[in-house]
Amino acid sequence: VTIHRTSEENDILKRFGQRLKALRKARALSQEELAEKAGFSRSYYTEIERGKRNVSILNIVKLAECLEVPLQTLLDFSESD
Protein backbone atom coordinates (compact mmCIF):
# COMPACT_ATOMS: atom_id res chain seq x y z
CA VAL A 1 0.00 0.00 0.00
CA THR A 2 1.44 3.35 -1.04
CA ILE A 3 0.41 6.19 1.23
CA HIS A 4 0.67 9.73 -0.04
CA ARG A 5 1.46 12.28 2.62
CA THR A 6 2.61 15.86 2.39
CA SER A 7 6.11 16.70 3.60
CA GLU A 8 4.51 18.57 6.50
CA GLU A 9 2.62 15.42 7.50
CA ASN A 10 5.74 13.29 7.21
CA ASP A 11 7.54 15.83 9.35
CA ILE A 12 4.88 15.60 12.09
CA LEU A 13 5.06 11.80 12.12
CA LYS A 14 8.86 11.89 12.20
CA ARG A 15 8.96 14.32 15.10
CA PHE A 16 6.46 12.21 17.01
CA GLY A 17 8.58 9.12 16.35
CA GLN A 18 11.70 10.89 17.61
CA ARG A 19 9.90 12.03 20.73
CA LEU A 20 8.69 8.49 21.39
CA LYS A 21 12.19 7.09 20.88
CA ALA A 22 13.73 9.64 23.26
CA LEU A 23 11.22 8.81 26.01
CA ARG A 24 11.71 5.07 25.49
CA LYS A 25 15.50 5.45 25.77
CA ALA A 26 15.16 7.62 28.86
CA ARG A 27 13.39 4.65 30.45
CA ALA A 28 16.07 2.23 29.22
CA LEU A 29 13.53 0.14 27.32
CA SER A 30 14.33 -1.65 24.07
CA GLN A 31 11.97 -1.35 21.09
CA GLU A 32 11.02 -4.96 21.67
CA GLU A 33 10.21 -4.40 25.34
CA LEU A 34 8.02 -1.36 24.72
CA ALA A 35 6.30 -3.02 21.77
CA GLU A 36 5.45 -6.05 23.88
CA LYS A 37 4.29 -3.92 26.80
CA ALA A 38 1.95 -1.99 24.50
CA GLY A 39 0.73 -5.12 22.75
CA PHE A 40 2.12 -4.03 19.36
CA SER A 41 4.16 -6.12 16.96
CA ARG A 42 7.82 -5.19 16.91
CA SER A 43 7.60 -4.15 13.23
CA TYR A 44 4.58 -1.91 13.81
CA TYR A 45 6.33 -0.27 16.75
CA THR A 46 9.53 0.28 14.74
CA GLU A 47 7.54 1.95 11.98
CA ILE A 48 5.98 4.37 14.47
CA GLU A 49 9.45 5.46 15.66
CA ARG A 50 10.52 5.88 12.03
CA GLY A 51 7.56 8.17 11.35
CA LYS A 52 5.92 5.74 8.95
CA ARG A 53 2.65 5.26 10.82
CA ASN A 54 -0.23 7.64 11.37
CA VAL A 55 -0.81 6.31 14.88
CA SER A 56 -4.27 6.59 16.46
CA ILE A 57 -5.22 8.33 19.68
CA LEU A 58 -5.89 5.01 21.45
CA ASN A 59 -2.40 3.77 20.58
CA ILE A 60 -0.87 7.10 21.64
CA VAL A 61 -2.64 6.79 25.00
CA LYS A 62 -1.39 3.22 25.33
CA LEU A 63 2.21 4.27 24.62
CA ALA A 64 2.00 7.11 27.16
CA GLU A 65 0.71 4.63 29.77
CA CYS A 66 3.52 2.17 29.04
CA LEU A 67 6.09 4.99 29.30
CA GLU A 68 4.38 6.27 32.44
CA VAL A 69 4.24 9.83 31.15
CA PRO A 70 1.28 12.18 30.71
CA LEU A 71 -0.17 12.27 27.22
CA GLN A 72 1.01 15.87 26.92
CA THR A 73 4.62 14.85 27.50
CA LEU A 74 4.51 12.33 24.68
CA LEU A 75 2.86 14.86 22.38
CA ASP A 76 5.33 17.58 23.25
CA PHE A 77 7.19 17.57 19.95
CA SER A 78 7.57 21.17 18.90
CA GLU A 79 8.37 22.44 15.43
CA SER A 80 11.93 21.65 14.51
CA ASP A 81 12.58 25.08 12.96
| Contact residues: a second copy, CB under 8 A | 5, 9, 12-13, 16, 54-58, 60-61, 71-72, 75-76
Minimum gap (Å) between residue 29 Cβ and a second copy:
21
**Of residues 35 and 53, the one with the C-beta less far from a second copy:** 53
**Of residues 72 and 80, the one with the C-beta less far from a second copy:** 72
CB contact at 8 A, 15 and 80:
yes
**Of residues 23 and 55, the one with the C-beta less far from a second copy:** 55
Return d(Cα 35, Cα 43) in angstroms, integer.
Answer: 9
Residues 6+ apart with CB under 8 A from 32: 42
